[in-house]
């Protein structure tokens, strides 16, 4: 399928013949003494400045004969969001993998560890319901405030999507050992996603402290650290979380496509002597988010707005305080 304008200048999908050769790109690479990892990051960053050809299906596969510190060769997929949302693409990657213990089985996804109301006594169930309503109400008010005026703090990591599409984005990646993540997960009694979110929070704290802490270098070491910690606490930075396990569960009634319900996760930026404190804070927030209907609320409200206003909603969200 490809996206075109008809005689009335309205955009619509039309069936087209896919020529694989038009989508597979094999660049000629001459590194000489250049760093392969740096070249890869620069190559992917440059791709963000080149729009996809709208005369053919909106996807490309770049095959790089490039040996990096992590792989013998590299494949880069460039896919327009209209071809498939993040859930669909993640499920495709999931379907292409197998368990190391059994090459015939798909990797298992963690089950949602919500507290079942059937297992609770009457008093505990009442408390659980009260907390569910309270958390949902608080999250709803924060969501409304975010769409209207409660913006994230302007920082070097906050992108401006209103800039020209030709602006080059810098993409950086790191590879971590999954066994190390599992070791922390088991010790802290968390999920892999919780650990990764905690690590990201710690990394962002260190990065922003370095970027904003330059002015404090002239002060004493103890005073500088205290001022940096206070500065980080004043930064409002949030992430959007989606639930892949529910979408991919067998027999799930969740819809695929651009039916998105998400949660706004407030990142707690701070400098801690104990790095595990980041994980504890993430775990605490995630547990509270699980006892909330925020994802259902955001999905329902977006669905209603789309029915009422159509594609204008995307422009509203694009220009709202969410970005």
CA dihedral sign, ordered 159, 244, 196, 240: positive
**Exposure class string for 11-26: b at 16+ Cβ within 10 A, else e:** eeeeeeeeeeeebeee
Tokens of 101: 């213990």
Instruction: Answer for the pair 274, 281: CB distance below 8 angstroms, yes or no.
Output: no
- Which of 194, 193, 208, 178 is closest to 270 using CA atoms? 208
Instruction: Answer for the pair 62, 25: CB distance below 8 angstroms, yes or no.
Output: yes
Give the number of other Cβ atoms within 10 Å of residue 172's Cβ: 8
CA dist 263 and 87 (Å) reads 15
Tokens of 64: 């790089």
Q: Catalytic annotation on 81?
A: yes
Cα torsion through 142, 143, 147, 148, rounded to 10: -30
- Phi and psi angles of residue 238, each rounded to the nearest 5 degrees, phi first: -130, 155
Choosing from 23, 62, 80, 81, the catalytic residue is 81
Classify residue 292 by its DSSP letter.
Answer: S
CA dist 5 and 12 (Å) reads 6
Residue linked to tokens 């006594």: 121
3-state secondary structure string, 42-57?
Answer: HHHHHHCCCCCCCCCC
Active site residues: 81
């Amino acid at each position: 399928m490809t996206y075109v304008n008809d005689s009335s200048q309205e955009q619509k999908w039309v069936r087209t013949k896919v020529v694989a050769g038009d989508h597979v790109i094999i660049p000629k690479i001459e590194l000489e003494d250049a760093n392969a990892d740096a070249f890869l990051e620069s190559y992917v960053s440059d791709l963000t400045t080149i729009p996809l050809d709208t005369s053919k299906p909106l996807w490309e596969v770049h095959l790089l004969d490039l040996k990096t510190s992590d792989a013998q060769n590299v494949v880069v997929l460039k896919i327009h969001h209209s071809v498939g949302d993040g859930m669909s693409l993640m499920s495709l990657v999931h379907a292409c993998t197998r368990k190391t213990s059994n090459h015939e089985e798909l990797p298992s996804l963690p089950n949602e560890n919500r507290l079942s109301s059937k297992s609770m006594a009457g008093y505990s169930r009442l408390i659980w319901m009260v907390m569910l309503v309270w958390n949902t109400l608080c999250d709803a008010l924060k969501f409304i405030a975010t769409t209207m005026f409660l913006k994230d703090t302007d920082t070097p990591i906050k992108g401006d999507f209103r800039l020209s599409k030709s602006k080059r984005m810098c993409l950086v990646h790191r590879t971590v050992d999954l066994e190390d993540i599992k070791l922390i997960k088991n010790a802290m009694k968390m999920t892999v996603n919780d650990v990764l979110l905690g690590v990201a929070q710690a990394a962002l704290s260190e990065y922003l402290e370095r970027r904003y802490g330059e002015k404090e270098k002239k002060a004493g070491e103890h005073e500088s650290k205290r001022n940096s910690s206070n500065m980080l606490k004043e930064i409002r930075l949030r992430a959007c979380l989606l639930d892949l396990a529910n979408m991919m569960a067998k027999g799930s009634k969740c819809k695929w496509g651009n039916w998105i319900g998400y949660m706004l996760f407030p990142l707690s930026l701070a400098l801690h002597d104990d790095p595990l404190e980041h994980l504890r804070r993430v775990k605490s927030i995630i547990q509270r988010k699980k006892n909330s209907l925020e994802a259902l609320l955001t999905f329902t409200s977006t669905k209603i707005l789309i029915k009422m206003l159509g594609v204008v909603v995307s422009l509203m969200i694009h220009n709202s305080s969410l970005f």
